[in-house]
Chains A and B, each alone.
Chain A
Amino acid sequence: MNDEPRTTDDGLQTECTRCAEYLDGWKRCKADYENLIKETDRRRMEFTKYANEELLSLLLPAIDQYETALAFTPDVSDLPDEQQKPLKNWIIGLHAVRDLWEAAFAQIGLEKVLTVGTFDPTVHEAVEQETSDTVAPGDIIKVLQDGWRIRDKLLRPAKVIVATDPS
Chain B
Amino acid sequence: MSKILGIDLGTTNSCMAVVEGGQPKVIENAEGNRTTPSIVAVAKTGERLVGQIAKRQAVVNPTNTVFSVKRLIGRRWDDGEVQRDLKWLPYQIVQKDDGVRVTMSGKDFSPEEVSANILQKLKADAETKLGEKITEAVITVPAYFDDSQRQATKVAGEIAGLNVRRIINEPTAAALAYGFDRKKDEKIVVYDLGGGTFDVSVLEIAFDAGTSQNTVEVRATNGDTHLGGDDFDQVLIHWIVEEYRKLEGIDLSKDTLALQRVKAAAEKAKIELSSAMETEVNEAFITMDAGGPKHLLLKLSRAKLEELVGDLVEKTLEPCRKAMADDKLEPKDINEVILVGGMTRMPLVQQAVEKFFGKKPNMTVNPDEVVAIGAAVQAGNLQGDIKGELLLLDVTPLSLGLETLGGVMTKLIERNTTIPTSKSQIFSTAADGQTSVEIHVLQGERDMSEGNRSLGRFTLSGIPTAPRGVPQVEVTFDIDANGILSVKAQDKATNKEQKITITASTNLSKDEVEKMKKDAEAHADDDKKRHELIEAKNMAESMIYTTEKMLKEAGDTIAEADRKDVEEKIEALKKVKDGDDVAAIKTAGDALATAGQKVGEAMYKKQQNDAATTPAPDAPPSDGETKPSDDEPKEGEFESKA
Point out residues on A near B: beta carbons under 8 Å. Answer: 1, 25, 28-29, 32-33, 35-36, 65, 68-69, 71-72, 74, 119, 121-122, 124-129, 138, 144-145, 153-154, 157, 159, 161-162, 164
Question: Which residues 292-320 of B sit at the A interface, judged by CB distance below 8 A?
Answer: 292-293
Q: Which residue of A lies closest to B293 (CB)?
A: A72
Known: A33-B21, A126-B56. A25 touches B256 (CB 8 A): no
**Interface membership of B612, Cβ < 8 A:** no
User: Which among A28, A74, A126 is the interface contact of B57 at CB below 8 angstroms?
Assistant: A126
A128 touching B256, Cβ below 8 Å? yes
Contact for A129 among B20, B44, B60, B288, CB less than 8 A: B60
A29 touches B260 (CB 8 A): no
Among B20, B256, B284, point to the contact of A69 (Cβ < 8 A): B284
Q: Given B44, B56, B284, which contacts A65 in the complex, CB threshold below 8 Å? A: B284
Q: Which residues of B contact A25 (CB under 8 A)?
A: 391
- A153 surroundings in chain B (CB, below 8 A): 32
Quick check: B44 and A121 within 8 Å, CB to CB? no
Instruction: A155 to B117: give the CA distance in the assembly, Å.
Output: 25
Which 4 A/B pairs are nearest by Cβ-Cβ distance?
Answer: A32-B21, A121-B57, A125-B56, A68-B285
| Nearest CB in chain B to that of A28: its residue | B385
**Most chain B CB atoms below 10 A, which of A25, A121, A129:** A121
Within 8 Å by CB of B256, from A28, A68, A127, lies: A127
A68 to B282, CA, bound (A): 13
Interface flags for B41-58 (1: CB within 8 Å of A; 0: not) read 001100001000111111
A108 to chain B, nearest CB (A): 18
Which residues of chain B (385-407) have a CB below 8 Å from chain A? 385, 389, 391
With a cutoff of 8 Å between Cβ atoms, the chain B residues found around residue A129 in the complex are 59-60
Docked pose: A131 CA to B22 CA in angstroms: 56
**Whole-angstrom CA separation of A164 from B59 in the bound complex:** 11
Q: Which residue of B21, B56, B57, B292 contacts A29 across the interface (Cβ within 8 Å)?
A: B21
Q: CB-CB < 8 A to A1: which residues of B?
A: 389, 391
The CA-CA distance from A155 to B43 in the complex, in Å, is: 23
Q: In the bound complex, how far is the Cα of B293 from the Cα of A72, in angstroms?
A: 7
B285–A65 touching, CB < 8 Å: yes
Q: Give A80 to B293 CA distance when docked, in angstroms.
A: 22
Between A and B, 11 residue pairs with Cβ closer than 8 Å are A36-B21, A65-B282, A121-B49, A126-B58, A126-B60, A127-B260, A128-B59, A138-B44, A144-B257, A159-B260, A161-B256
In the complex, residue of chain A having the shortest beta-carbon distance to the beta carbon of B390: A1
Which residue of B22, B55, B56, B284 is within 8 Å of A68 (Cβ)?
Answer: B284
CA distance A68 to B296 in the complex (A): 13
Q: Are A145 and B260 in contact (CB under 8 A)?
A: yes
Question: Which residues does chain B contribute within 8 Å of A74, judged by CB atoms?
Answer: 292
Instruction: Please tell me if the beta carbons of B60 and A32 are within 8 angstroms of each other in the complex.
Output: no
Q: A121 touches which one: B32, B53, B385 (CB < 8 A)? A: B53
Q: Which residues on A sit within 8 Å (CB–CB) of B31? A: 154
Given contacts A29-B22, A32-B20, 4 further A-B contacts (CB under 8 A): A36-B20, A69-B285, A122-B53, A127-B260
Contact among A35, A72, A121, A125 with B285 in the assembled complex (CB-CB below 8 Å): A72
Across the interface, do A127 and B59 meet the contact criterion of CB distance under 8 Å? Answer: yes
Cα of A92 to Cα of B55 in the assembled complex, Å:
40
Collect the chain A residues with CB atoms within 8 Å of residue B60's CB. 119, 126, 129, 138, 162, 164
Is the CB of B283 closer than 8 A to any CB of chain A?
yes
Digit string of B229-256 for contact with A (CB within 8 Å is 1, else 0)? 0000000000000000000000000001
Q: Report the bound CA distance from A159 to B389 in whole Å.
A: 52
A1 to B49 CA separation, bound complex (whole angstroms) = 49
User: Which residues on the B side are within 8 Å of A29 (C-beta)?
Assistant: 21-22
CB distance from B377 to the nearest CB of A (A): 16
Contacts of B20 in A (CB 8 A): 32, 35-36
Bound together, the chains give a CA A32 to CA B19 distance in angstroms of 10
Q: Which residues of A contact B257 (CB under 8 A)?
A: 144
Alpha-carbon gap, A82 to B22, bound state (A) = 74
Complex interface: chain A residues within 8 A of B385 (CB): 28
CB distance from A39 to the nearest CB of B (A): 8
